Structures are given as C-alpha cells and as structure tokens.
Amino acid sequence: MRIPSKAVAAALIALPLAGCISFGPKTPPFLMALTPAETLPADAVRKAGPGEAITVYTPSVPQSLLTVRVPVTAGANSVTYLKDAQWVEAPNRLFQQLLANTIAARTGKVVLNPRQSTIDPGQRLSGDLERFGLDVQAMKVVVTYDAIKQTRGAENIETRRFEATAPVSAAEAHAVAAALNVAANQVATQVADWIR
C-alpha cells in the first residue's frame, strides 16, 4: 500500500509545530493555598438561635487582586506579579474560607457562607481585602482587611481595619506563600477576636 506524498508532507510539516502549540499559560511548579492555624475538631457540634449565627462574605478586592497571581509592589505606583506563584483559587475566596474557619474555631459560633444564610444570616461580616501580596522594598508581605460588621439588620454597623505583616527571606513563591499564610492567619485571628 502506498501513502500519498501529500499526506506525508502534511505530517512532516505538523511535527515541528506540535511543540509550539500552547493552550494556556505554563503551569507553575506548585499552587499556593491558605491553611488555618486553628480549626474545629471533627466532632464539634455548634448551635445557633435566631440572629446568633454569623455569615462571612467574600471580600471585595482591588483590580490587582482580581487574579490568582501574587502582586508585588515596588513603590507607591508600581505593581508586578511574583514569578511561578499562583493561588489554587482567587485570594479573596481563600481569605473568606480562612476567616470562616478561624471565627468558628475561636468563637464557637455557627459560621455560614452567603448561600447558606437565606433564612437567618445573623451577624454579617463583609469588607475589602485591600492588600494581599509582597512589598519587595521592605521584603515583607502585607495583608490589609477593612472589615464591616453588621448586626440586627442595618441598625448596627461597625468598621475596623486589620493589618499584619510577615518578613520574607526571598522574593520567591515558597517563601512568600509561607509568609502570606502567617500574616493572613494573624488578621483572621484579630477579626475573630473582634467578632467575639
């Protein structure tokens, strides 16, 4: 059986191109996540009466955090992103989960997400995650959360800014991930104590 020469030529042309085709950005060596410093035990039972639960909303973020990448600031007007560093999901969602876990562990409250709170959201925690990245000039990570606590409908609203920093040994993904986890847990602990 003879293979047509046009088919052979097309296959030979396609071979070198196969290595050039990419269907998205290169996957980083690992994906970063936040791990709560405090968690509820597996058999913990919590109950809440009317208005006693707390609903933790996903924080709003500036444009620089609308990504799974880690922002690096090098001055007041300069933002870039850390090489080979990527979150498993958006940082504001990771921070919401960390807040919820920490509040539940430290306060014993029933903590809900917005999808679970349709009947009785109880107290509400929302806010803005203003900073969540590396300050390369100071060689530290910064986590800044502007929280809004709302109770009894819209009758009682309180706001507070929480901030934590942690030093980094190098501007590389592993060091920054570990430092951001430390700083985020510090902020989550401060928020939980404020809620309590």
| Position 10 pLDDT exceeds 80 | no
pLDDT tens digits, one per residue of 55-77: 999 999 999 999 999 999 987 78
The answer on pLDDT for 159 being more than 50 is yes
pLDDT at 113: 86
When the pLDDT of each residue in the chain is averaged and rounded to a whole number, the result is 87
Residues near 85 by beta carbon (within 8 Å), at least 6 away in sequence: 28, 32, 69, 70, 172, 173, 176, 177
Q: Would you place residue 47 in the very low, low, confident or very high pLDDT band (cuts 50, 70, 90)?
A: confident
Q: Which residue has the tokens 């509040």?
A: 103
Residue 126 has pLDDT above 90, yes or no: yes
Q: What's the rounded Cα separation, in Å, for the pair 26 and 23?
A: 9
Query: Contact 80/70 with Cβ under 8 angstroms?
Result: no
Render the burial of 20-37: b for 16+ CB within 10 Å, e for the rest. eeeeeeeebeeebebebb
**pTM of the predicted model as reported, rounded to 2 decimal places:** 0.83
Q: What percentage of the chain has pLDDT greater than the value 70?
A: 85
Q: Which domains does the chain have, with CATH numbers?
A: 5-195 (3.40.50.10610)
